[in-house]
A and B are shown apart, each in its own frame.
Chain A
Amino acid sequence: MSLIKKIKQIWINTMFHGTKTYFDLPKNEYDIPNPQHEGPFGSSLSKSISLFKKLTRSGGHGSPAFYLIIGVILSILTYIEFAIFYVESLGVLMVPILIILSLGKFILVVAFFMHLRFDNKLLTYIFFSGFVLAILIFLILMILQAF
């Protein structure tokens, strides 16, 4: 029951300005909607953005359920990588797709499991200076190997 109510609320947030529907043309100046904190999709977009910020920023640390969701996303990404490996028709596109997926997993683990999203920015700079140096060494080796 509460799920239906929530879906109804999302529908109202997306489609309505107050009591007026989003696509109704105003007939007089009182009908012109002047809602605050609303974007192109009613208030649902700004509400979901603030929910994302609340989930990933506030309180310093996430709840166990939040980490569980991240774990599920990581498993799904791993399964997608595994499934893509057997798609022959992708050809040369396979390598970039695999690298993007693994980069996504990398960022999820570093940002949330290692708490970099919640922590002091200095730690991010320290880690990523090492990471960028590693990428540079990697690229230089690959370029030298070509000659």
Chain B
Amino acid sequence: MSEVIAAHDEAHHNSTGIDTRKLLMWLFLGSDCLFFGSFIATYLVYRNRSLVGPYPSEILDIPLTTISTFVLLMSSLAMVLALNYTQRDKPVAGRYWTLITACLGAIFLGFQVYEFNHFVNLGLTPKTNMFGTTFFVLTGFHGAHVTFGVLWLLTYAFSCLTTSLKERAILILSIIGFLMIFFAVLMSDWLHVIPHVPFNTVMAIGGAGVLILLISLILLRKTSTPKGIAVSQSMNLELSGLYWHFVDIVWIVIFTIIYLVSAKDVAPIIGM
């Protein structure tokens, strides 16, 4: 088995000595820089050009976004720990940290869902003004990147960090448990993203989610994976990790430029 994997890995090397997939991943990230760079530049070009409200100073919530930035930074830390433990042939710790990374990414997405919903309630849509258009396109594409990253990590955890059918079933159960908690929080009274759900229903869904998540996480503490398999598959995790960190650094730039620098923008002075 290990010889097959070794032969499989060797096929990916080229004259530079770097794994071809990794080389291509970095090329993709370099081109993705152009993608996000254009959107950020577009945002700045149309900054202060909105003719009607709401303006950034009226609706951007800096403390909330700081928390979501912190969540995304910590998910990056969890990602690097996941890779580190997997490369040291500790698949269980690697699996837990991979799940924590995906979980923190989903929490970040929850923050974004809440924020978008809140903005739409306050009257800011992509059609309202230039700020709305550029803001939603930029953060929306970033959110799409995060969503794809979460799906990638979960797919990796499903295919490479679990081997038996039982473990995979438990992993799916833990994801279902997490999603139940996620939607229960979105349904709750103080977020109001999914409105008009009775309190008892929210508590039932959330409680069941917590129970399912805890039990499945406890069951995941042992693995039947033979030694060395996780290490041989760690390049897959490294690639998804590179993608994840890239999404994180894009958010670092977005947080600075869109939120901190332009959060005090008010209505432009007409006739300039």
- Chain A interface (Cβ within 8 Å of chain B)? 61-64, 67-68, 70-71, 74-75, 78-79, 81-82, 85, 94-95, 98-99, 101-102, 105-106, 109-110, 112-114, 120, 122-123, 126-131, 133-135, 137-138, 141-142, 145
Contacts and interface: CB of A to CB of B under 8 A. Distances in A.
Name, among B18, B29, B44, B80, the residue most crowded by chain A CB atoms within 10 Å (CB to CB): B80
B261 A130 contact: no
A142 B45 contact: yes
B16 A122 contact: yes
Nearest to B22: A123
B249 A142 contact: no
Nearest to B31: A130
A75 B73 contact: yes
B102 to A, nearest CB: 17
Given A114-B242, A130-B33, A120 B40 contact: no
Given A64-B84, A68-B77, A85-B263, A145 B256 contact: no
Contact of B248 (A109, A112, A141): A109
Contacts of A102: 252-253, 255-256
Contacts of B40: 138
A134 B245 CA distance: 18
Contacts, number: 134
- Counting chain B residues whose Cβ lies within 8 A of the other chain, the interface size class is 35 or more
A120 B16 CA distance: 9
B260 A85 contact: yes
Name, among B62, B252, B255, the residue most crowded by chain A CB atoms within 10 Å (CB to CB): B252
Contact of A67 (B30, B66, B73, B80): B80
A9 B252 CA distance: 40
A70 B80 CA distance: 11
Interface in B111-125: none
A113 B72 CA distance: 13
